[in-house]
Amino acid sequence: MIQHMIAVLDLGSPENTRIAREIRALGVYSEIHPHDIAPDALKAMQGIRGIILNGGENRVVDGKCVDVDPAIYDLGIPILAVDHSSPGHPADYPAWPEEDSEVLDQFLHTCKAERNWNMDNFIADQIELLRKQIGQRKVLLALSGGVDSSVVAALLLKAVGDRLTCVHVNHGLLRKGEPEQVVRVFRKEMGANLIYVDAVDRFLDKLAGVSDPEQKRKIIGKEFIRVFEEEARKLEGIELLGQGTIYPDIVESGTKTQKSIKSHHNVGGLPEDLKFELVEPLKQLFKDEVRACGKALGLPDDMVYRQPFPGPGLGVRCLGAITRDRLEIVRESDQILREEFKNAGLQGKVWQYFTVVPDFKSVGVRDGKRTFDYPVILRAVNTVDAMTASVEQVDWPVLSRITERILREVPGCNRVLYDLSPKPVATIEWE
Ligand code: XMP
């Protein structure tokens, strides 16, 4: 099916993503492109029905005033110019006004754009495209259990079945129950070829005594590649590699205004000499669309609506040199926090919440005896882009219940603290 499309050209607006999402919400596919895209390239885009010139304050990009190539006006494609201004940072923009949605809706009528962008069509199209790309060949996928890799796995499984092999590396830094969930959902319930690699000792041995956070990240990232590579080399005849690239990854590196947003790299880059052709079926989707896709493919809510989780996992929440006893305190307390947030209706409302265990002890008293144990720090923040974050004002009774449970159920812990620091000055993670 030819999918109609509206191209949003970035003329310095912080609103590119919002406008593209709004158009998609109105049922028409939309993509963001740089302002200096060649008119011929625009004309050649399949299904293009309209162009939006999306200007920021004074149309400034990288300190310079910009405009599009005037030949764009002669392409015979309807154009809508939008200019935004705000009293301060992008954060000051008011909520998207209803009148603006009406203007977009009207523009889509003018463009005669067919409203066929929805998850069922997307899934049907992707299955057809994946079958075409993959043919009789085999695909390998590093399945972390995160939203993106899980949705890629479910989609590939539907498209090519047992020509997909998933590798799940348990590096010992995952949350409680995660490796078991990946095995249960993909191997048992969905019937996927899943190789489960227990690399816990290997990672923890490599990390022993290492206290510098960046060094810890490097070791985890490198070791992950090594383990995955070893598994890949054991398999024969695999030419393709599935990747959970999503649209923001592409937008952030592809347009002028938004390229500086990304701050972290995920674990999972692969060595050059493993020559794979990439399969990236989610590269058109925003995060909420990825979740909708996962849901439509039958993945459980716990997997689809997960909060963001850093590649190095609990490794950066067990502060300083990682020890097994403190790692268990992080894992157990994190589970209690997640359960109680769910009970309080905060799951899916608060952007990210987790526990942290520092590498010092404090004095306490239990059953009339002195204790010398670790504290647990609770963190719960809200953010739009992870560049700034505010602290969730969790109700006191919820905090008390979490504290009570951690002190009662987690051995080796005698104090619970709530971190009240916004980003900046703090960061979201402690390391
Ligand atoms: P910070 O601590 O920098 O975190 O305020 C911002 C967001 O990034 C996540 N984060 C990471 N994600 N690899 C990742 O994939 C990492 O090394 C990493 N460090 C932090 C963090 O959880 C938060 O969502």
The better pLDDT of the pair 297, 261 is held by 297
> Whose C-alpha lies nearest to ligand 1, atom 3?
427
Angle at 329 between CA 396 and CA 219, to 5 degrees: 120
In Å, how far are 55, 146, 223, 306 from 309, measured between CA atoms?
34, 8, 18, 8
Atom in ligand 1 nearest the alpha carbon of residue 352: 24
Q: Is the CB of 315 under 6 A from ligand 1?
A: no
Q: Is 144 in the pocket of ligand 1 (CB under 6 A)?
A: no
Contact 224, 233 (CB under 8 A): no
Nearest protein Cα to ligand 1, atom 19: 310
How many Cβ atoms sit within 10 Å of the Cβ of residue 289?
A: 21
69: pLDDT strictly greater than 90: yes
**Cα gap 344→338, rounded to integer Å:** 10
Starting at the edge strand that comes first in sequence, how are the strands of the sheet with 277-279 ordered? 193-198, 164-170, 138-142, 238-242, 277-279
Which ligand 1 atom lies nearest to the CA of residue 311?
15
Beta strands at 352-356 and 369-382: parallel, antiparallel or unpaired: antiparallel
Find the mean pLDDT for residues 327-351. 97
Angle, CA of 46, 52 and 57, to the nearest 5°: 145
Q: SS3 of 138, please?
A: strand
Express each pLDDT in 165-200 by its tens digit. 999 999 999 999 999 999 999 999 999 999 999 999
Q: Which of 214, 429, 430, 431 to mutate to test the pocket of ligand 1 (most atoms within 8 A of CB)?
A: 429
Find the 1 Cα to ligand 1 centroid distance in Å: 39
Residue 190 CB–ligand 1 contact under 6 Å: no
> Is the previous residue joined to 87 through a cis bond, with omega within 30 degrees of 0?
no
Query: Tell me, what's the pLDDT at 263?
Result: 34
CB of 429 shorter than 6 A to ligand 1? yes
pLDDT band (50, 70, 90) for residue 98: confident
Closest C-alpha residue for ligand 1 atom 4: 428
Q: Does residue 89 register a pLDDT over 90?
A: no
- Can you give the pLDDT at residue 274? 66
- Strand pairing category for 362-366 and 238-242: unpaired
Task: Indicate if ligand 1 lies below 6 Å from the C-beta of 145.
Answer: no
Whether ligand 1 lies within 6 angstroms of the CB of 264 is answered as yes
Average pLDDT, whole number, for the chain? 92
Q: Taking residues 33-41, what's their average pLDDT?
A: 95
List, for residues 223-252, the tens digit of each pLDDT value.
999 999 999 999 999 999 999 999 988 886
The residue whose CA has the least distance to atom 20 of ligand 1 is 310
Q: State the average pLDDT over residues 132-153.
A: 97
Please determine, for residue 266, whether its predicted confidence score (pLDDT) is greater than 60.
no
How much distance in Å is there from the Cα of 267 to the middle of ligand 1?
11
Ligand 1 centroid from CA 182, angstroms: 22
The DSSP line for 45-95 is STTEEEEEEEE-GGGEETTEE----GGGGGSS--EEEEE---SSSGGGPPP
Read off the tokens for 424: 């900046």
Ligand 1 atom with the shortest distance to the CA of 309 = 22
- Residue with the nearest Cα to atom 9 of ligand 1? 310
Residue 18 burial class via C-beta count within 10 angstroms: exposed 0-12, middle 13-18, buried 19 and up: middle
For residues 29 and 1, the answer to whether their CB atoms sit within 8 Å is no
Query: Could you tell me if the CB of 4 is within 6 A of ligand 1?
Result: no
Q: Whose CA is nearest to atom 14 of ligand 1?
A: 310
Distance 395 CA to ligand 1 centre (A): 26
Better-predicted residue by pLDDT, 255 or 236: 236
| Ligand 1 binding pocket includes 262 (Cβ within 6 Å) | no
Establish whether residue 218 lines the binding site of ligand 1, counting it when its CB lies within 6 angstroms of any ligand atom: no
Ligand 1 atom closest to the Cα of residue 308 is 24
> Is 0.75 surpassed by the pTM of this model?
yes
Q: In whole angstroms, what is the distance from residue 151 CA to residue 174 CA?
A: 18
Q: Which helix (H) or strand (E) holds 168?
A: strand 164-170
Q: pLDDT band at residue 271, thresholds of 50, 70 and 90?
A: low
Name the packing angle between helices 324-343 and 396-409 (round to 10°). 140
- Ligand 1 contact via 261 beta carbon (within 6 Å): no
Mean pLDDT over 263-273 rounds to 50
In short, whether 421's Cβ falls inside 6 Å of ligand 1 is no
Q: How remote is the C-alpha of 90 from its chain's centroid?
A: 21
Binding site for ATP: which residues?
144-150
CA atoms of 128 and 151, how far apart (whole Å): 16
Q: Computed from CA positions of residues 59, 61, 64, 70, in that sequence, does the dihedral angle turn out positive or negative?
A: negative
Take atom 11 of ligand 1 and give the residue whose Cα is closest.
310
Any idea what DSSP says for residue 315? G
**pLDDT digit string (tens) for 219-229?**
999 999 999 99
